[in-house]
Structure 1
Amino acid sequence: MTGAQTAAQAMVAATARLRAAGVADPARDARLLLAHAARIEASRVTLIAPDELSAEISERYEQLVSLRAIRVPVSHLLGEREFYGRRFKVSRDVLDPRPETETLIEVALSEPFDRVLDLGVGSGCILVTLLAERPSATGLGVDVSEGACLQAGANAVMHRVQERADIAGSDWFDAVEGRFDLIVSNPPYIARDEMDGLSEEVREHEPRLALTDEGDGLGAYRRIAAGAPDFLMPGGRIVVEIGPMQAQQVSALFDATGLSDIRVVQDLDGRDRVVVARMPG
């Protein structure tokens, strides 16, 4: 790529390079990265296609494409990811917000709540979204990662819910006080022996702590199930994301600690994605 190229030529070259590197959707990524390099909305890339790229934009684009070719996620290169209609700042300290997690949001929003606890808050995408959608609610997000807490706090400020969102360092319930009518979590649920099967983007660039419990993938659910009854109000709900094959085991863990009305919700692809339970009233 050189400054003499038009935007269209640069995108064609970048697409070919990313395809050769094994990137799953090279044309889309080439477009997004060019928009970022040119500091314009992706929808406007077509408008600059005939224009010659400046040396500055061309150099920036070259660097972005080079990083994407070695599988640095697009979201990390852009510094953000869209989730439930909002943009969230992301980094190597947090798990990328994923579309399937929107199933958890839909379930959480299906009933009223006033006070929500997000266990393993990460980027803050779940807590911030819930508070943005329910302007009367308040919440607490906890995470063992200091970097994640900082990222969640920044996203709370960006979406103007910081006055209603507390972010704290905590190993699950260890530093949590009080009771909540909604507990949510997207915990690490990938078993250690499944890690090698993940894409390079996920395995090499997302925080391992947010992906796996270094065991059978159910360790976090055991902690959550054991603690939830002490922090849920009577009638309160707990909503957790799960791996597609974990519904039966997680449901059994919740049942064993006295939670009731346990059900499994599928995502848009028809896979088991969320387990919901209630604290008996």
Structure 2
Amino acid sequence: MTKTINDVYMQLFKRFKEAGSPQPSLEARELTAYACKVDKGRTAEWGHIYLDDATVDFANLLCDRCLDGEPLAYILNEWDFYGLTFKIDKNVLIPRSDTERLAELAIERAQKAVNPRVLDLCCGSGCIGIAVAHEVEDARVTAVDISDNAVRLSRENARANGVFSRYVALKADVRFRPQNNLGKFDVIVSNPPYVTAEEMRGLDRSVREFEPEQALYGGPDGLDFYRSICGKWGDLLVPGGLILFECGYRQATQVCAILEDNRFSGIGITEDLAGVPRIVYGENPAQEEI
């Protein structure tokens, strides 16, 4: 029997719902649109477009992969963050809505400066820095990651989202001191690897088997990158400049202590969009040279 796009959507929706998916409608809609090469925003037309058997089989094959634990975002090779669409692959973490509040705070701070310079450390897909550049028209963003593939992908995303002329991506390891010619920044923002050794062993299969370990593991206590960034990159902030971190839900007070040990001021913790206290910030207390 010939099926319409809507028939396929309903079939996938039923499969996801029976499997206990928390978002069966979203997953079915995204996979249907991807498999059938149609606009996911024009679902009203789906009942009038008929498909060949190969397309129907392909949609169900994608559903099989998703139900087997492969993240939907990696199947689609893209994901939305802060109203923008980012190309992703298994070399970078999937952008998560939990991180949108971190981007929002970086945007708010950048908007207070004239021609602000923003440094995005451990940038991955580039979602945070690109969101800042997109929302703050005079912002210039430097993004850093240890992965060649992440650097390449973030450049592609900057181009696709129209901020390439104000976005520079560099390969560097934030566990070591930065090169001398980076200059000073009004904002440093980072969502670094922060999963502990114990937590790595208990990660959900969809994370453990598909997302890059290099972007997850933050050392035995998960705090290695906070220590390095605060101790070796913090002096790249202008006097009064702000550093912003995302951290694990049990790490906020420890990250605050690292900021305090490195003589940051105005240290505080705030919640992400889900109400979890996972964003830590501090200011460079240095005074302008006279």
TM over 0.5, shorter chain: yes
Q: Residue 31 of structure 2 is aligned with which of 27, 30, 33?
A: 33
| Equivalent residue, structure 2, for 1:120 | 122
Deviation sequence 1:12-44 (CA, Å, 0-9, x none):
332343345554433321221011111122232
Amino acid at match of 2:67: A
> Residue 193 in 1 paired to residue 167 in 2?
no
Contact 2:100 2:273 in 1 (8 A): no
Larger deviation: 44-53 or 162-171?
44-53
| Equivalent residue, structure 2, for 1:107 | 105
Amino acid at match of 1:157: R
Deviation sequence 1:132-175 (CA, Å, 0-9, x none):
11111112111001111111010011112111111111001544
| Equivalent residue, structure 2, for 1:96 | 94
C-alpha distance in structure 2 between counterparts of 1:20 and 1:40, whole Å: 25
Contact 1:75 1:81 in 2 (8 A): yes
C-alpha distance in structure 1 between counterparts of 2:160 and 2:177, whole Å: 28
Contact 1:15 1:26 in 2 (8 A): yes
Larger deviation: 194-203 or 158-167?
194-203
Note the 1:221-260 alignment, pairs <5 A: 221-260=226-265
Deviation sequence 1:96-119 (CA, Å, 0-9, x none):
111111111121122224111111
1:7 deviates by 3.1
Q: Residue 40 of structure 2 is aligned with which of 32, 39, 42?
A: 42
C-alpha distance in structure 2 between counterparts of 1:64 and 1:144, whole Å: 31
Q: Residue 145 of structure 1 is aligned with which of 124, 144, 147?
A: 147
> CA 1:166–1:245 in structure 2 vs 1: closer, same or farther (change >3 Å)?
same
| Equivalent residue, structure 1, for 2:61 | 63
> CA 1:197–1:25 in structure 2 vs 1: closer, same or farther (change >3 Å)?
farther
Contact 1:138 1:164 in 2 (8 A): yes
Q: Residue 165 of structure 1 is aligned with which of 149, 167, 171?
A: 167
Larger deviation: 173-182 or 243-252?
173-182
Deviation sequence 1:147-206 (CA, Å, 0-9, x none):
111110100111121111111110015444322111010001111211233322222111
> SS at the partner of 1:49?
helix
> SS at the partner of 1:136?
coil
Aligned-residue Cα RMSD (Å) equals 1.9
Amino acid at match of 2:83: G
Amino acid at match of 2:9: M
**TM-score, normalization: structure 1?**
0.92
Amino acid at match of 1:245: R
> CA 1:214–1:235 in structure 2 vs 1: closer, same or farther (change >3 Å)?
closer
Amino acid at match of 2:183: G
Deviation sequence 1:231-265 (CA, Å, 0-9, x none):
11111110111111111100010011111000111
Which ranges of structure 1 fall in alignment gaps of 5 or more residues?
none
> CA 1:12–1:225 in structure 2 vs 1: closer, same or farther (change >3 Å)?
same
C-alpha distance in structure 1 between counterparts of 2:244 and 2:83, whole Å: 21
Which ranges of structure 2 fall in alignment gaps of 5 or more residues?
none
C-alpha distance in structure 1 between counterparts of 2:11 and 2:36, whole Å: 16
| Equivalent residue, structure 2, for 1:275 | 280
Contact 2:81 2:97 in 1 (8 A): yes
C-alpha distance in structure 2 between counterparts of 1:69 and 1:269, whole Å: 25
